[in-house]
Structure 1
């Protein structure tokens, strides 16, 4: 393999996937050594493994030192702990060197040139063991270096978050926009007949190809006919799929808001996170354009950041202005950062804070950039689009701030919510109250009262799973929900309650209509017959 580390975005600088027999030998060596998610956890222990996921290496180093010096220990040392080992301790060392996964170190030792680590995806009969290659991360490179500009990022919180919010029902055709090293495509192959995966980076496409071919047999792919299941395309955002439609789109795009400079080139940008647009323009382009890529019933899920400007009515005012009139939109804001917090976060992400003068200059550029557009803060979270099965006049606009811990995976809840939106659109008030409802199994009711109060001061429904929302209850709504056990229709419940509450059926229906629709969309109530 030719060493070309000084060449920007050169696919020849990615792991070499040209020799399928060699890949098979490396795959067997990792499998036989027990270098799997479970194997690493069993060797290190639960707490050191958890610490390792938080980039704390010492507990894992201690655990490896106390265990046998076998092939698994060598793989953990090299790929997870950024150490070197004698070449004769590393399984399939010659093949790994030839494939560009390892490189020689001093005194007959080898070290990681590329990160490759175990990963597990859910299968029909339990977890499926895979391995994912990416560039070395911040803890693995020299302390005085920033990440390379064409860095291909590995598995991190954003990767797993996107995988967990993606619906997993079978689909005909899916799009992985911004494939990176390819982990979302690895997931999609479990339930999509065909996947189109795109990226602007040729190195990223090469990494994705390596990971697909390396795991081909596990994924049920013929490595000689990869294109039968996956098509890898190079291009910017939606350009490579112009005119095509998909049942499902997933994307972790380069959404990081980055100050622009005069005359900057592609090689001046961190391609894994910087889409080359000013401000949040990249997220805007996707929100405006992704709806056209969706088939009826199709869903797009992506992660993104967006600016909140001084004078905006709400944190989502600008997002609302980007949306097509025929597409449902649901945005969950998970965090919100000031300009200073945001600049600090992303400068540290690329290790740019390791060089003080450059860090100061970049920090000032961020602050000046935000000030020029009167950016008050930056929202961060999940953005989901849905094309209804039929034309609509009032698309869903759902904006939530949920900063607490959510119950993963959320993919099933995302699918159910959009299904509920379609179901609700088809029902006027009469139809709605002719339905029979049940309270979801994870929902509980809370009542709060002051010590000297006879009646509750607040009543809430709380989800134990899914998005773990709370929903305030009026006396009327609490009474209605308490009877939703699958026996009575909404109309029958209203008839019984209206007499007790001394209110007409029509008035009670009007009071409850909007709340019941929200409870169905949020998953608190489920129609007995969908």
Structure 2
């Protein structure tokens, strides 16, 4: 049975009027940013509302001194932001003036607002606008955040659009597909992005409340999403269940997931009602991520890809990627980027704050100890966070990604999806190509940085730096620097590599400064082999740069 405190469709008429009121009020992402400022909006995503509250208070104060609150006015917009985004309390008359069509009674019928203790009305849900880089503009409802209410979050909390949701949406490689799957749908934000380029989307979640929020949001935004309210199943199927269980036996072209990956200490006798289901899958350690990771191969169609965010434990003395490689099904390609590593103590404190469990000092201290004991029981020295991309190769097509596990802790571009797609496409295009025979040039955003002592003409270090995308860097050897600087598109890479090796391994100056030339005609077999290895190494390095986009084919 679904809890009564979730948005409901009391009638199609109420929903139609709600849509009209939200549009008339200019309740859009751009309008809210203009009202509160970009910095305040960025802080809101991090659940830091102070700056936005100040800006809204100024706008509302101006409204009391100037024109009355009306639909479409700045003062009216400020009322909506105060209620639905900031969780504040307003007078019923103010809200009714800002949304005259649906009115306060209609908002209550929809489950969106409720009487506030002490008078006035407040939001029963978080309802905020969302804008994507592809032009998608939505209104998305979820549970109110930690800064809206005192005390600990409810255990069946439905998370809104947070930084993790935005990161996954920005990372996803967008391509036209027939079928897509969203595992752990939450409020539905990944599903709504998928509907832009997938003919049909299936979304699963263990939480019935999450599915109810997703259904509400899908129907509220049916025009933008191309959904027929009378036949939603034609494009969107919502299924209740854990992870991949509801879709057993099915395959999809694209799978995305922001799963409940938070590592949480288990306690004796705990039940589902004891867990924060939006972040905690109920399994010890990182077993939930492992279970999903291992199972993705079963639901990927040939050529299908999966992308998700995840946490993983790093045992003491082990390489962070060792276990992840073991989790990856043998017939899948994998590209995993570790973006952050937290100590057990820092990890525990972060997630205690997330659910406001730190508001009770005694309980927080006890829970903190449980986290540390739990990690110590598995000899965990760190917790990694990162991006996961998997692909099932399609017979008859080239697939060049293979297995890549890399750590990138620096800032990267967003949206990252187009850059990931470029590297994947480049890797596939290089399959079967003799890199030694191709001509390449340095990409426009790539620079070479030189580091050395003051007044010393000889640099001690050369750094090749990518200015966009994953913003990779490479510390260059003298030979590698020579190869990169020579890549002007006129000469094949192999010939350039051979010339660089010949120049750098040629004669050396004697004590009088005279150059002694190498007697190449008497070169030993060992020397010839060494030279060939150096040339091959430079060609391999060029192949890496081509895949990563620092070099491009001419």
TM-score, normalised to structure 1's length? 0.91
CA distance in 2, matches of 1:373, 1:61: 44
Partner of 1:322: 327
Let me know the Cα RMSD of the aligned residues.
Answer: 2.2
Q: Residue 167 of structure 1: CA displacement?
A: 0.7
Partner of 2:136: 128
Q: Residue 376 of structure 1: CA displacement?
A: 1.1
Which residue of the other structure, out of 309, 324, 333, is the alignment partner of 2:315?
309
CA distance in 2, matches of 1:409, 1:393: 24
Partner of 2:247: 241
CA distance in 2, matches of 1:424, 1:18: 56
In the alignment, does 2:535 pair up with 1:509? yes
- Structure 1: gaps spanning 5 or more residues: 1-8
How many pairs were matched up? 511
Q: Residue 477 of structure 1: CA displacement?
A: 2.1
CA distance in 2, matches of 1:357, 1:58: 27
* Map 1:53-132 → 2, pairs under 5 A: 53-67=45-59, 68=63, 69=69, 70-90=75-95, 91=99, 92=102, 93-105=104-116, 109-123=120-134, 127-132=135-140
Q: Deviations for 1:73-118, whole angstroms, at most 9, x for unmatched residues?
A: 2101111222111222211322211110101225762110011001
Which residue of the other structure, out of 15, 22, 26, is the alignment partner of 2:18?
26
CA distance in 2, matches of 1:221, 1:417: 33
CA distance in 2, matches of 1:493, 1:513: 9
CA distance in 1, matches of 2:109, 2:148: 21
Which residue of the other structure, out of 442, 448, 468, is the alignment partner of 2:445?
442
3-state secondary structure, aligned to 2:166: helix
3-state secondary structure, aligned to 1:340: helix
Q: Is the 8 A contact 1:325 1:395 kept in 2?
A: no
Report the structure number with the largest CA radius of gyration: 2
CA distance in 1, matches of 2:432, 2:200: 31
CA distance in 2, matches of 1:501, 1:225: 70
Greater shift in the superposed pair: 154-163 or 82-91: 82-91
Q: Which runs of 4+ in 1 moved over 6 A?
A: 391-395
Q: Residue 459 of structure 1: CA displacement?
A: 1.4
Q: Deviations for 1:166-202, whole angstroms, at most 9, x for unmatched residues?
A: 1112222211111100001111111112111111111
Q: Is the 8 A contact 1:326 1:395 kept in 2?
A: no
Q: Deviations for 1:15-45, whole angstroms, at most 9, x for unmatched residues?
A: 1035333212111111111111111122223
Q: Residue 519 of structure 1: CA displacement?
A: 1.4
TM-score, normalised to structure 2's length? 0.87
Q: Residue 318 of structure 1: CA displacement?
A: 1.6
Q: Deviations for 1:349-370, whole angstroms, at most 9, x for unmatched residues?
A: 1111112232222112111111
3-state secondary structure, aligned to 2:459: coil
Q: Residue 498 of structure 1: CA displacement?
A: 4.9
Q: Is the 8 A contact 1:197 1:230 kept in 2?
A: yes
Q: Is the 8 A contact 2:87 2:126 kept in 1?
A: no
Q: Residue 502 of structure 1: CA displacement?
A: 5.2
Q: Residue 412 of structure 1: CA displacement?
A: 1.2
Partner of 1:177: 183
* Map 1:80-479 → 2, pairs under 5 A: 80-90=85-95, 91=99, 92=102, 93-105=104-116, 109-123=120-134, 127-142=135-150, 145-312=151-318, 314-390=319-395, 396-427=402-433, 431-479=434-482
CA distance in 2, matches of 1:232, 1:440: 44
Q: Deviations for 1:466-510, whole angstroms, at most 9, x for unmatched residues?
A: 111101222222222223333333234345445534587844431
Q: Is the 8 A contact 1:102 1:112 kept in 2?
A: yes
- Structure 2: gaps spanning 5 or more residues: 64-68, 70-74, 507-527
3-state secondary structure, aligned to 1:304: strand
Partner of 2:512: none
Q: Is the 8 A contact 2:401 2:424 kept in 1?
A: no
Partner of 1:521: 547
CA distance in 1, matches of 2:445, 2:141: 38
Q: Residue 436 of structure 1: CA displacement?
A: 2.6
Q: 1:86 to 1:49 in 2, by over 3 A?
A: same
CA distance in 1, matches of 2:252, 2:86: 40
CA distance in 2, matches of 1:485, 1:232: 53
